[in-house]
Amino acid sequence: MAHHGIQVIGVIFMLECSSYKDINIGMGICGEDDYETKVYVYAIDGLMIDTGAQIMEQDVIEFFKSNHIDQVVLTHNHEDHTGTAPWILKNTNVPVYLNEGAIPSANRPPVMDGYVTKMWGIRDTFDPKPLTDKIVTSSGKYTFEVIHAPGHKPQHDCFYERSQGWLFSGDLYLGTKQFVCYKDENMKQTIESIEKVLQLDFDTIFCAHAGVVENGKVRLEKRLKFLKDLQNQVNEMRSQGMDDRAIDAEIYPFNLTIQDISGGDWSSYNIIHTL
């Protein structure tokens, strides 16, 4: 979808590059069998936000070099956000920052099931520095507040530029509706995090999978309404004696490709069970 204000710059290998105001954007497509998903990385004033999947590494390295990056921040430690972080730490002096609670998991080899390897590649271990409360870009022009927003991952953070009304949301937004989630997500926490983030004054979301989302606060409000309506529906069905498997079968009487590919790691049941 085209967005007002985005200028397409070109392609670095298989990475489609564009810009939005002072922000340079790289987008790659990762997938396995019949399932594909977009993965975005962002650069602004020497700051890089997320590093894509390892399978995108060569393209992201070129993006990294062309944007003269001097610091990297990660929204969370999933393989599609941290794939190039090991290369950066091994081959440059650029610091990489991650939520302190996620650092032990970054130091351990990730559990890479077959479908994960095909989609994201094989990410090495890495040893990032702990995030602080604020990130100031190299020229001092932009200051990002670190907003803790668990749910998708317990150590998930968003980055908020108050003066610009920008929210780099990691995987908090994704879309106004949701039909599957990962096995270790907690949708109650996601609802709480969305309610917390909606207290901020922002207009534009920069999502790791949906890209630039203008009218982002309105879109995030729609996502919150969808999830709370779903939560109320689930609780009503539970009060009638239905268990979560039966509720899932009634609300989501279909399987998406990612459910089959992942063997249930991604499923609608994971949403229902944690609401």
Least confident of 4-18, 52-66, 228-242: 4-18
C-alpha–C-alpha distance, residues 75 and 156, integer Å: 6
The CATH number covering residue 198 comes to: 3.60.15.10
Residue 65: which of 82, 33, 87 has the closest Cα?
87
The band of 112, judged by pLDDT with boundaries at 50, 70 and 90, is low
The band of 33, judged by pLDDT with boundaries at 50, 70 and 90, is low
C-alpha–C-alpha distance, residues 45 and 163, integer Å: 15
Mean pLDDT of the region 54-69:
95
The band of 110, judged by pLDDT with boundaries at 50, 70 and 90, is confident
Q: Reduced to 3 states, what is the DSSP secondary structure of residue 152?
A: coil
Full-model pTM: 0.92
Structural element, H or E, at residue 71: strand 71-73
Does a structural domain hold residue 119?
yes
The band of 6, judged by pLDDT with boundaries at 50, 70 and 90, is very low
Residue type, 109: P
**What is the pLDDT, as a whole number, of residue 87?**
97
**What is the pLDDT, as a whole number, of residue 111?**
73
Does a structural domain hold residue 183?
yes
Give the residue with greater pLDDT, 127 vs 79: 127
User: Phi and psi of 63, rounded to 5°?
Assistant: -60, -45
Average per-residue pLDDT for the chain: 92
Is-contact 177 225, C-beta < 8 A?
A: no
**What is the pLDDT, as a whole number, of residue 221?**
98
User: From residue 255, how far is each of 165, 238, 249, 268 by CA, in Å?
Assistant: 37, 22, 10, 8
Does a structural domain hold residue 1?
no
C-alpha–C-alpha distance, residues 48 and 44, integer Å: 7
User: From residue 131, how far is each of 75, 103, 185, 203, 234 by CA, in Å?
Assistant: 10, 10, 22, 24, 36
Domain that holds residue 82: 6-273
> Is the pLDDT reported for residue 82 higher than 70?
yes
Mean pLDDT of the region 94-101:
98
Question: How many structural domains compose the chain?
Answer: 1
Each residue's pLDDT tens digit, 147-200: 999 999 999 999 999 999 999 999 999 999 999 998 889 999 999 999 999 999
> Is the pLDDT reported for residue 2 higher than 70?
no
**What is the pLDDT, as a whole number, of residue 9?**
42
User: Phi and psi of 106, rounded to 5°?
Assistant: -70, -30
**What is the pLDDT, as a whole number, of residue 12?**
41
